[in-house]
Structure formats: structure tokens, C-alpha cells
Amino acid sequence: MYKRGGLRVEFRTPNESICFLSMAKETLQQLKINHQDHHLSVIISSSGIISIWAFSRTPMEFQVEYATEADGPGLAKVNIDSFRNQRILPSVFPEASRQSLGEYKAMYSMKHLANPEMHVLKMTDPSTGEIIGYSRWFIPKSLGGETIPQMSEKAQEIARDPVVFAPRPMNEALYGAFRQLLETSRKRFVKDEDMVLDLLAILPEYQGRGLASKFLQWGCSRADQFGVRLYLEATGAGYPVYFKYGWRLLEEVNLDLSQYGAEGIETFTIMMREPQAK
């Protein structure tokens, strides 16, 4: 049944399921690598049978950290994939490939990183190192805590006007209308010392695991510490979690894409959170 020199391996998982494998000695290390998400206890009996017991590792925490210039491509991926059901991006760049959109979004992130009042945060999967969450918080310099980005000369140059690197053709009328719509609401409701949640995005395959809450706790705790309000523009998908964290509806605004050669209507919910007493 087994090749000469082979090993009979018994692999017990935390739920007590058992897997028997036949392998050469040199492949044992590969088994350990493939099951690195478990603690492995290797026992060799007198009969030469190796038993490997697997115990689930304590999950490593998904940490909120400041993003850097090198994170641009990862931030771009999260941004694009998280809002893939919205019509805005494909309508503004109707012929752009996934690659060209990613490159442009990565370059546009340099503008945010270069803004000392914009706190650009990331979350990575500790088992893979992949960026799976992305958030931006505008904190007025009057509140302190300005970021001091370490950026290359090339990134600083890109940050000055990243739109020149946008894929073509570009529906500039729609792009302008979208920006004006949101800027109009901000001017109406945001005061000088208000904080703004500018973006919150989690990769679709990681959604529903409470990861967005880690970003919200980061921002809300600071707003409460400063005693200031928190403003945001929410999509329909984000509204419930924002409401849970204390944001309340100010108004809804709509963008009719058909007026700019596209299709559909995009709705944004304008919300404000009052500071919470500790």
C-alpha cells in the first residue's frame, strides 16, 4: 500500500476529523507549511507512524495602521472591488481596463497621503499581508495630530494633480457633477472643526466580519476625544452600520447618470454623528 520509505501520517483537526496521508519523509515539512494556520503537534510512535495533531491558532488581530506610499496598489484594489456595484467609476471611465483603473487609483491615493489633515488607514490580513480594508479620515489641523507622510519626490509630484494620469476617454462632465454634488453637501453641513469620514471600504470577501467596526472605533474615539462631530456620505450598503455607531440622517442626494450619457441613478445618504459623552 505504501511506497518503501513512506510514512503513514494521521492528521487530526480541531473538530476531530482525521485525515490519513501517505508521504515520503521529505514532504512532511510541506504538510506543516500547508497547515500553517494550525499549531501542529508531531508524535512518532514506536511503530514509525507519525501522528500530527492540529490545534487552531488564536486568530491574529486585524490591525488598523497608517498607510504608506508603497500601499498604493493595495488601497486601489480595495477601493475598486468594494464599490464594484456602483455605476460611477465605470461610467466615468467607460473603456478603462481593470489594470488601468488600479494604476490610476493607486496614483490618486498619493494625493490623500500627501494631505497632512487626511489620515489614510489600512488593514491587512495577518496571514497573507494583503490589504483588505481602507479608510480615510479628515481631521482638521486645528485639532492637532497632523500626519507627516514619508513620500518620494515622484509620489509628491503625482499628488499635485493625479487626474492628469486618469484613463482616457474620461466622462469629465459626470466626474465634475459627482464631485460637485458631494462638495455642495459638505459645504452646507460641515463646520471648520468637524471631522469627516472620507472613505471606508472592505474587500467583499472580508465583509460581514466586523472589520469595518475597527475603523469606525478608531475615528469615533478621536471625534469623542476632541468633542467634535463626524460627517460622512454613505451608500445604501453602509447606512446600517453607520446608524449603529451614532450617525443620523441629514438628507439624501441623487445623481442622475442619464444626464451625462450613462444609465441609472446613484443615491448618497448624508449623515452626521454628534460627539458621544465618555
For cell 462632465, name the residue: 173
Residue 187 predicted with pLDDT over 80: yes
Least confident stretch, 28-32, 39-43, 80-84, 222-226: 28-32
CATH class of 64-273: alpha beta
CATH number for the segment(s) 6-56: 3.10.20
- Per-residue pLDDT of 102-136, as tens digits, reads 999 999 999 999 999 999 999 999 999 999 999 99
Count Cβ atoms within 10 A of the Cβ of residue 26 and give its class: 0-12 exposed, 13-18 middle, 19 or more buried. Answer: exposed
Residue 254 predicted with pLDDT over 70: yes
Instruction: State how far the Cα of 61 lies from the Cα of 64, in Å rounded to an integer.
Output: 9
Q: Please report which confidence band the pLDDT of residue 33 belongs to, taking 50, 70 and 90 as the band edges.
A: very low
Domain map of the chain by residue range? 6-56, 64-273
Instruction: State how far the Cα of 164 lies from the Cα of 241, in Å rounded to an integer.
Output: 35
- What is the pLDDT, as a whole number, of residue 60? 65
Of residues 31 and 78, the one with the higher pLDDT is 78
- What is the pLDDT, as a whole number, of residue 54? 42
Cβ atoms of residues 212 and 248 within 8 Å:
no
Angle in degrees, 0-180, between the axes of helices 98-113 and 153-160, rounded to the nearest 10: 100
Cα dihedral 71, 76, 78, 80, rounded to 10, equals 180
Residue 231 predicted with pLDDT over 90: yes
Find all residues with CB under 8 Å of 219, minimum gap 6, and list them: 135, 137, 195, 197, 230
